[in-house]
Amino acid sequence: MGRVAFLFAGQGAQVPGMAADVKDLPKVKQLFALAESIRPGTVDAMLFGTQEELNRTLLTQPTMFLSDLAYAYAKEEELGTPDCVCGFSVGEVPALCFAGVLSQEDAFRAIVRRAELMEAYTQRIAGCMIAVIGLAPDAVEALCDGENNFAANYNGAKQTVVACRAEAEAEFCAKVKTAGGRAMKLRVSGMFHCPPLLPEAQEFERFLKGCTLRAPRLDVYANLTAQPYPQDIAHTLAMQMCSPVRFTQTVANMRARGVEEFIEVGPGKVLTGLVARG
């Protein structure tokens, strides 16, 4: 029998009312109560907020954390513990919490701090994320200048997401069209997973080093390396913020180690869709 992986959804998958269908499970109720004691109003925003409100980084990340982890607990109760996990971008924090690396309290405080840092960054540098569809990753890389736009998420053979400065958006989208691809702006509030985020990533690493970090109870595949987490957890998780998400390679490495079933935990089916398309 093949191995099973849980995939923790990332920023952009947020929708109003996410996790409402699992909110009454005892473990989820405990998680939500803890979150409310640390950052009041977060659960209500997740369950009853508007799409516009949820799209703001300061709220997107804590609510996605809660939603992902809630769905993971529900799936674990239904199907049993998976063999390994990975989280896409912000989803890596609930994945590490689920694997026992971070306590619920430390993980929620960490995601709130990550959101604060990235929200401040969006005020410092205006930008967006653009999914390029229909072009191979190397073709997308060739369109990026390494200053105004960067290959940020390797999602599949024909889908790569680019982090782009606001002032360069129109020109970059025109280049994509000329090259035969399609550009689609994502539902996020800045340009992430690129070198300009290094100062915030370094600050996040300093925060993480104040948390208790334990050995994982199961393999957690890192966005940074596409391999199971190494011993330097704080550095690996922090540098993920300013480095590409290597999702395609992560899935390939999981399959090479016997994973046959991928179960998305979080709102929507974006990640399992990417897995299916390859």
Q: Is 67 a catalytic residue?
A: no
Catalytic residue among 67, 189, 193, 243: 193
Nearest to 245 by CA among 137, 117, 118: 137
**Size of the chain in residues:** 278
Out of 67, 89, 189, 243, the active site residue is: 89
Contact 155/161 with Cβ under 8 angstroms? Answer: yes
- 180 dihedral zone (left: phi>0; alpha: psi -120 to 50; beta): left
Q: Are 211 and 110 contacting, i.e. CB atoms less than 8 angstroms apart? A: yes
Q: Is residue 235 annotated as a catalytic residue, yes or no?
A: no
**Edge to edge, what strands does the sheet with 259-265 contain?**
219-221, 84-87, 3-8, 259-265
Strands 127-133 and 149-156: unpaired
Active site residues: 89, 193
